[in-house]
Structure 1
């Protein structure tokens, strides 16, 4: 167990790669939704960080993105950066990335350490959608002055896009697991190596 808690040098590189993926997905133009928070591709990167890296490493990757944004680098969708991104209607969704990525990782990497399609899909939906919404909806409601129920209803507009992102994250994770196990942390690689 102590060995699983230690990070290899490769883990630092993986964290940097997934922070880069999250940032790169910010260059995909956000889809504006009138009166709502725009739909961005960056949550796909958050889901992928959790599915591939596991909870702690995914949290570290999101933390790197937060640090870069906080110091003013334009790493978020639409070229945004600075401390102001952590305020306003969309800030709850942004803050929800951190616990969301960690919950994705906890679900996907639970148990036998083998990556399965159902745990990957479940993790992407619970962590990448439900947890992010649990942070985003209350903050958006407080910022806009709408009721919590009304804000939750307006957030339903995001569900189809988020469901597609969860499906894509699941498919990419399973493809990567089959094609390149070294992308995953040591416990997953070991479990795959001894799999029948």
Structure 2
């Protein structure tokens, strides 16, 4: 009986630890959102939010990475000032850049799955380099696919009347200007994952 009680306690402690970590990465993504720059060649703000997505996927794995960014999106939707420039509200989810926000939970979950292979969380420093490379690339594609479609739809670019033209026009302002920055964020995420200080966490 005591063994069963101890097992339940251990499971409860583990769940609490996962929830706390998910909340911390959601908060970190919110902090990153305040690093926002308006590029002259795009109406979409450049932020560091994607770095939060990368780190959540790498450090939390698929299930909790998804949960962390879902918490982030929901928190912003209900009024927490965690979106770009401290914005919040449901309106941000249907703005021209709302597609990015919708993508974050799925992107973090995908990266976690590719990086870890299973739902078990591998120490970040032990994740194979090829898994990080493939995961970060796939995650970036997902984020910008959502972002491009969202911009074409919510930005009134006649997505249904001229799908190809609308998507190309959207990609020119939602993807092309941001590629160098995303590569840099990916490098930073890998360096953090490989950090000796965090290697065994």
TM-score range, shorter chain: 0.7 to 0.9
Q: Which runs of 4+ in 1 moved over 6 A?
A: none
Distance 1:118 1:12, change over 3 A: same
| Local SS of the residue matching 2:96 | coil
Q: Which runs of 5+ in 2 are unaligned?
A: 1-10, 158-165
Q: Is the 8 A contact 1:48 1:169 kept in 2?
A: yes
Q: What is the root-mean-square deviation of aligned Cα atoms in Å?
A: 2.1
> Does structure 2 conserve the Cα–Cα contact (< 8 Å) formed by 1:125 and 1:163?
no
Answer whether contact 2:103 2:143 (CA < 8 A) is retained: yes
Match of 1:165 among 185, 191, 198: 185
Give matches, 1:93-112, under 5 Å: 93-110=100-117
Between 1:37-46 and 1:26-35, the stretch displaced more is 26-35
Which residue of 2 is the match for residue 190 of structure 1?
none
TM-score, length-scaled by structure 1: 0.81
For 2:200 and 2:60, locate their aligned partners in 1 and report how far apart those are by CA, in whole Å: 11
C-alpha deviation, 1:180, in angstroms: 3.1
- Alpha-carbon distance between aligned partners in 1 of 2:90 and 2:38, rounded to the nearest angstrom: 23
Residue 181 to residue 38, structure 1, CA distance change in 2 (3 Å): same
Q: Aligned-pair distance for 1:96? A: 0.7
Which secondary structure state, in structure 2, belongs to the residue aligned with residue 39 of structure 1?
strand
2:145 equivalent among 128, 134, 138: 134
Q: Distance in 1 between matches of 2:128 and 2:190?
A: 9
Q: Gaps (5+ residues) in structure 1?
A: 184-196
TM-score, normalization: structure 2?
0.80
Matched residue pairs, number? Answer: 176
Larger Rg: 2
Distance 1:171 1:39 in 2: 21
Q: Deviations over 1:114-146 (max 9, x none)?
A: 41222112212211x100111111110122344
Is the contact made by 2:34 and 2:47 (CA closer than 8 Å) also made in structure 1? no
